[in-house]
Structure formats: C-alpha cells, structure tokens
Amino acid sequence: MNIRSSRVIMIVLLVFLSTAVVSAQRKPTEATRPVVVMSGQSLNDLKEKLKPGNKTEELIDSAGMELRVAVQHENNKTGAAAELHDASDDVYYVLEGGATLVLGGQLDDPKEVEAGEWRSPRIVGGKTFEISKGDLVVVPRGTPHQRSTANKDFTMILIKIYAEPLKKKP
C-alpha cells in the first residue's frame, strides 16, 4: 500500500468516525413543560373556582412557547373590544353557557395596543354567531373577532397558537 492510499483510508476513517461521534451526540428533544392531564372532575372544579367573576386560569403559560392554554370564565361581560391578532390563532371550546361572537369583517378604527395586537370598539361587516356548550370555534390570525356574554354565564377553554415563541418574562 502506498502513502497516497494510506492517506485516503485515513481520511475516510476520520470522516466516518466524526460522523459517528456527531450522530451519537444528537438526542431527542426534551419536554419544555410538564404534561397537563385534567380529569373531567378537575375541569369542573376549576370552572367553579373561576365563578362568579370574569377570570382566567392558565393551564399552559405562553412564556417561551408557541402555545397558551387557559380556562376562561365570563359573566355578563359587555363592551369588550373587538380584536385582531397578526401572529396568533385562537381556538375556543365552550365548556358551559353561551356567548355571542362577531367574526370577520373589518375593525372599525383599529389601534395597535402592542406589536401585532389590534383593538377596536366594534367590527363592521362581520357575521354574528351564538355559541354554546360543546361548540368549537377556530379564529385564524388576521380575523377580527369580538365576544359578548351580556346576560350570560360562559366558560371556555382558550387555546392560542403563536407564530413564534413569546419572550419569557424577566
């Protein structure tokens, strides 16, 4: 075997070994948060804890994540601003009661309250929906939406899906 062949073999071996070391160092991603499993009874207990006021309990905090999960209770809440999110989708699952939603159309006199978060007193040209227990609503980013629980008691699971992880609070 000549010197040139020895060098080629050595280079091939080094490439092979370095590839083996790099792939041996790679590991599956680890969970960033604990798993959340709630029995129906636990969820009922939480719903009762949030009554009678307008309260929210975070199940998965959004800091550093693309996801937020909360249980939200509203009672006779009127005058809530219409909103639009540039970089997050909302999913509502109604646990109890009912609400009136206005979806779509345009925000009337929109104001950016923080980056990508818009508010307005009302929606022009939206469609009105009555939602109640068991209903699922998906509000894609960029969709104006407004909720009223006037004369109603309402509890929902809110799931927000962000385009990018939110910054962790200091």
Instruction: Read off the pLDDT of residues 81-93 as tens digits, 9 standing for 90 and up.
Output: 999 999 999 999 9
Mean pLDDT, rounded, of the chain: 84
Tell me the pTM: 0.74
Q: What is the mean pLDDT of residues 96-121?
A: 95
Q: Which architecture characterizes domain 51-162 according to CATH?
A: Sandwich (2.60)
CA dihedral 49, 51, 52, 53 (to 10 degrees): 100
* Spatial contact of 78 and 148, defined as CB atoms under 8 Å apart: yes
**Does residue 158 register a pLDDT over 60?**
yes
In single-letter form, the type of residue at position 145 comes to H
- Comparing 136 with 6, the larger pLDDT belongs to 136
- Comparing 1 with 36, the larger pLDDT belongs to 36
